[in-house]
Amino acid sequence: MSQSEHQTPAPVPTDSSGGRWGDAAYGLMGLPLAFVALPLYVHLPPHLALTLGWSLATAGGVLLAVRVFDALIDPALGRWTDRLLGHSPRRVLAVSALSAAGVVLGLFALFGPDAGSPLAHAAVVTAALVLAGTANSLLSIAHQTWGAALPRSDGARSRLFAWREGAGLVGVLVASALPAVVGWTYTLWVLAAAMALGWLAWSRAEQPARDTGGAFAPSAHSPWSCLPFRKLMAVFVLNGIASAIPATLVVLFMTDRLGASAQWQAALLTTYFACAALGLPLWMRGVRRWGLAPTWATGMVLAVLAFAATASLGTGDMCAFAVICALSGLTLGADLALPSALLAKVLDDHPPAHVHRGVYVGWWALAAKLNLALAAGLALPLLGLWGYQPGGADPQGLTALSLAYSSLPGVLKLAAALLLYALFIRSTPSREVRTCPPSV
């Protein structure tokens, strides 16, 4: 059978959609999804080490094991999402409602009262991590697959994901400030309400067309047979590692290196994410003028330049760090909205990838989580070996923390920008690489 007989024509990208409010209805779910990321990936490591008294090795080992498991199931969750979407969008919404409930229950257990003995509490924390992580994975994959299945031009596609990431930044701002102000119990109740509102808005957003070809296509198709996807994944992984290390260490850096109080930490994180929200319209304008890949590369380079001075900071340098947070925050919008838009473009441009969107999004999510797992599972134990201990004042340990937080991520992000330039900006794809192999 010829290759063309295997392929389902991709929807024609268009700027016609549900309009600004339709995109906003889809994007609102980004608020609770991003809200969840801070307690799971930023607040949890110091919570385990400082509040619960876990050693860095134990905390890193548990986080690594749970996050690797959580990541490895993402391709299967993506394939299941394809099947659900093939039956009807309503099935996706129903499963997503259950997933949202699972996320909230898991986080209540993670940050709730001590379960008694250290062994019992460790078991509760591990089980809650698995529940919250798995439910959040399914919810995130379903939401991103839904957006990728809507036909869009590059500009309209980046605008759709910008609404999601803009709402996500609001969620991050709320999650950054609330725990220090009202405590974790009230913070998680706010998250539960945001989940409910986000799901209701999503259920009224534009629906993708039912695509049984994508839902029930033979399972032998592998995203790794698609050269454009492999290229994009290489850039995404390298850039993701560069971002995951400081995300894991930022609370420890502000506490031990800068001596920042809880109020200062909340203000610094708020500055970073507020500037990211303000920068989103600039990146959308950049996409219209230069295209997706060049705009993303520009954001990477500017982030390296903005972050370069972090290694020289010391105790009391909160104002200087606030300036760095503002400048680097402006570049964050490129990392948030443009990779997902570029992935959706690859799926539209390279049949039959566009009928296996969930599988591709699942592998995409797996890569993002492995980046975070490596950051927590490797960076924390290595810092312990290099003499750093949370709450300590050893100069050698604090120097190691500064270098791990700033210099290493800068080198990796610059390498990612060069790779993006080589693979997507300088080179012109040939006919052979523009089409992924068909399903068999």
pLDDT of residue 217: 45
Query: Worst-scoring range by mean pLDDT, 139-148, 270-279, 316-325, 385-394?
Result: 385-394
pLDDT over threshold 90, residue 162: no
Rounded average pLDDT over 415-437: 72
**More confident call, 388 vs 202:** 202
The better pLDDT of the pair 173, 31 is held by 31
9 located within any domain: no
- What pLDDT digit, counting tens, does each position of 163-177 carry? 888 888 888 888 877
What does the pLDDT read at residue 433? 41
User: Residues near 109 by Cβ (< 8 Å), separated by ≥ 6?
Assistant: 124, 125, 127, 128, 131, 132
pLDDT of residue 215 exceeding 50, the answer is: no
pLDDT of 211: 53
Predicted confidence band of residue 326 (pLDDT cuts 50, 70, 90): very high
Classify residue 406 by its DSSP letter. Answer: T
Q: What is the mean pLDDT of residues 67-72?
A: 81
Q: Provide the pLDDT for residue 197.
A: 95
Asked if residue 5 belongs to a domain, the reply is no
When mean pLDDT is compared over 57-71, 106-120, 291-305, the highest value belongs to: 291-305
Q: Which of the pair, 195 or 390, is modelled with greater confidence? A: 195
Q: Is 403 within the bounds of a domain?
A: yes
pLDDT at 431 over 50: no
Please state the length of the chain.
440
Residue 49 has pLDDT above 90, yes or no: no
Q: Does residue 193 sit within a domain? A: yes
Q: Provide the residue range defining the domain that includes 205.
A: 20-426
Top-confidence range, 34-48, 203-217, 263-277: 263-277
Specify the pLDDT at position 355. Answer: 64
| pLDDT band of 226, cuts 50, 70, 90 | confident
pLDDT for residue 93 is more than 90: yes
Residue 327 has pLDDT above 80, yes or no: yes
Determine the Cα–Cα distance for residues 256 and 389; give it in Å rounded to an integer: 9
168 domain-assigned: yes
With respect to residue 439, please indicate whether it lies within any of the assigned structural domains.
no
Q: How confident is the model at residue 198 (pLDDT cuts 50, 70, 90)?
A: very high
Please state the rounded mean pLDDT for residues 211-235: 71
| pLDDT tens figures, 7-24 | 444 444 544 445 667 788
Domain count, the chain: 1
Q: Could you write out the DSSP letters of every residue in 196-233? A: HHHHHHHHTSPPPPP-HHHHSS-TT--GGG-HHHHHHH
Q: Is residue 11 part of a domain?
A: no
Tell me which residue has tokens 């339709």.
22
Pair 383, 404: CB distance under 8 Å: yes
- Per-residue model confidence (pLDDT) at position 1: 39
Q: What is the pLDDT of residues 258-288, one digit of tens each?
A: 999 888 988 898 888 888 888 888 998 898 8
State how far the Cα of 355 lies from the Cα of 123, in Å rounded to an integer. Answer: 40
Q: Is the pLDDT of residue 344 over 70?
A: yes
Quote helix, strand, coil % in the chain, to nearest 5.
80, 0, 20
- Between CA 294 and CA 292 the distance in angstroms is 6
* CATH classification of the domain holding 144: 1.20.1250.20
Question: Is 0.85 surpassed by the pTM of this model?
Answer: no
Task: Assess if residue 66 is contained within a domain.
Answer: yes
